[in-house]
Amino acid sequence: MRALQMVDTKTQYGHIKEEVDQAVLEVMNSSAFINGPAVRDFATQLAEYLSVKHVIPCANGTDALQIALMALDLQPGDEVITPSFTYIATTEVIALLHLKPVFVEVDPRHFCMDPVALEKAITPKTKAIVPVHLYGQASPMQEILSIAARHGIAVVEDNAQAIGCDYTFSNGEKKKTGTMGAIGCTSFYPSKNLGAFGDGGALFTNDDLLAARIQMIANHGQSKRYYHDVVGCNSRLDSIQAAILSIKLRRLDQYNRSRKEVADFYDRAFADCTSLLTPLRSSFSTHVFHQYTLRVTDGSRDDLATFLASRHVPCMIYYPVPGHRQKMFDAFQTSATDLPVTDLLTEQVISLPIHTELDQEQLAFISNAVLDFFKRGA
C-alpha cells in the first residue's frame, strides 16, 4: 500500500506531469514571469468557469481577503462579522486593517456561519460580513445575503476551501460559491482543491468599480504607472503558477468528483458508528470536500487521534483553537465572547485524509482503523 498522507500532490502531479512540465518550460522560455499572458489566460478561464465578470489574481488567499476589505474602504474600528470557527487568515486580516473582528457562531451541522447569530451581532458599526465556505460546502448564502441587503452591509466570501461548489437558491437559481457576495476570495495553496505548485490566490466580483479598485490596490494603488492614488500593496500571481493552474482548472470538476467518492466511501463505512457524526450534505449546496471532517460525539476525539497515529493513519484537527480564543485577538477581549457551539466543535472535530489519489485499499485501511478504535473501546 502507498504511504497514507493528508494530501498527495506528488501522485497527482504524476498524472499531468508532461503537460505541466511543458507549460512551465514555455513560461521560462518566454521569460514573461510577471503578468505574462499565462496570468491573463488563467484569469479569463477561471472567470468563465465561475460565471463571474472579473477574476483578479493575487499572491495568496490571505492577501485576497485583505485586498477585498481594503477595496470596501472601511474606517478604523468598523466591525466585520465572521465565524470564529475558521482558519486564522480569515480573521487576521480584519485586525491587521484596524477593523474589529466580531465572531459569531456556526451551525453545528454544516460548520458554516449561523444566520441567526449573524443577525443578532449586527450593530450600526457593522460594515462587512465574511462568511467562510468551510471544508468545501457553502454557507447559507440566501439568508446571509438577505440579512446583509436589509442592513446595507457588504458580503465578502472566503471561498478558499470550496472552489467549484454550487449553491442553489430557493427559486432554483444556481451560483458558484465566491460569486454571490460583493467580493469572493480564494487560495491556490498547493493542498487546496485547485492548488498551485506554490502560493497563489484570487478575488472575484461582478462589480466593475470594485474590480477596478481591487486591481489598483493589488498593484501599489496605481492604475497608471507611477501615479499612486490609494495606498495599496504588491500582490501578484506569477506566470508559472498561472500556467499550472490553467491545466488543473480543466480537471477541477473531476478532482472534486474524486474527493466526493472518498467522502461517500467514508460515509458508508461510518454509517453505523454511533460515536461519529459524518459530514452533513446541505440541501442548498454541493460539497467539494476540501476536508472530510467527522464529529466524535463520545468525548474520545483525542484518543482516536492518538490511536490513528499508532496505526500510521494521518489525521488533523481543523481547528484546535477557535479565533475568539487566540491570543492575537486579546486586545478585542474576544476570549470573553460566548460561542459554545464553536467551542464544542473544536473538541469534537477530526479530519481524515481526503484527496484525489486515494485508492480502495487505502480507504479501507483508514476506515478500518477508525472502526477498530471504537470496537476496542466498546
Burial class (CB in 10 A: 0-12, 13-18, 19+), 327: exposed
Shortest Å, Cβ 158 to ligand PLP = 5
- Residue 160 binds ligand PLP, judged by CB under 6 A: yes
Taking the complex as a whole, the smallest distance from the CB of residue 63 to ligand PLP amounts, in Å, to 7
Q: Which residue(s) pair with 205 in the sheet?
A: 54
- Of the pair 89, 182, the CB lying nearest ligand PLP is at 89
Using the rule CB under 6 A, which residue among 85, 135, 167, 189 binds ligand PLP?
Answer: 189
Task: Supply the minimum distance, in Å, between the C-beta of residue 210 and ligand PLP.
Answer: 19
- Measured distance CA(198)–CA(76) in Å, rounded: 33
Q: Residue from 27, 38, 56, 62 that binds ligand PLP (CB under 6 A)?
A: 62
Q: Does 235 bind ligand PLP (CB under 6 A)?
A: no
C-beta of 172: minimal distance to ligand PLP in Å? 28
Regarding 157 and contact with ligand PLP (CB under 6 A), the answer is no
Cβ atoms of 106 and 134 within 8 Å: the answer is: yes
Letter for the amino acid at 73? D
Give me the 17-56 binding string for ligand PLP, x by CB under 6 A, dash otherwise.
----------------------------------------
Interface with ligand PLP includes 91 (CB under 6 A)? no
Q: Choose between 201 and 323: whose C-beta lies nearer to ligand PLP.
A: 201
- Which residue, 87 or 373, has its beta carbon nearer to ligand PLP? 87
- Considering beta carbons, is residue 187 or 215 the nearer one to ligand PLP? 187
- Least distance (Å) between residue 310 CB and ligand PLP: 28
Cβ-based nearer residue to ligand PLP, 8 or 157:
157
Residue of 50, 52, 60, 85 that binds ligand PLP (CB under 6 A):
60
CA distance linking residue 244 with residue 23, whole number of Å: 7
Q: Which stretch binds ligand PLP (CB under 6 A): 111-119, 156-164, 171-179, 223-231?
A: 156-164
Q: Does 89 bind ligand PLP (CB under 6 A)?
A: yes
Span 69-88, contacts to ligand PLP by CB under 6 A: 86-87
Kindly tell me which of 106 and 160 has the beta carbon lying closer to ligand PLP: 160
Q: How far is the CB of 101 from ligand PLP (least distance, A)?
A: 14
Residues, the chain: 378
Task: Identify residues 111-140 at the interface with ligand PLP (CB under 6 A).
Answer: 132
What's the min distance (Å) between Cβ of 88 and ligand PLP?
8
Q: How far is CA 159 from CA 76, 162, 170, 278, 283, in A?
A: 25, 5, 21, 22, 19
Residue 186's Cβ-count burial label (10 Å; 0-12, 13-18, 19+) is buried
Q: Is 43 exposed, middle or buried (0-12, 13-18, 19+ CB in 10 A)?
A: buried
* C-beta of 52 vs 67, nearer to ligand PLP: 67
Count of residues touching ligand PLP (by CB under 6 A): 15
Q: What does the binding site for ligand PLP look like in residue numbers (CB under 6 A)? A: 60-62, 86-87, 89-90, 132, 158, 160-161, 187, 189, 199, 201
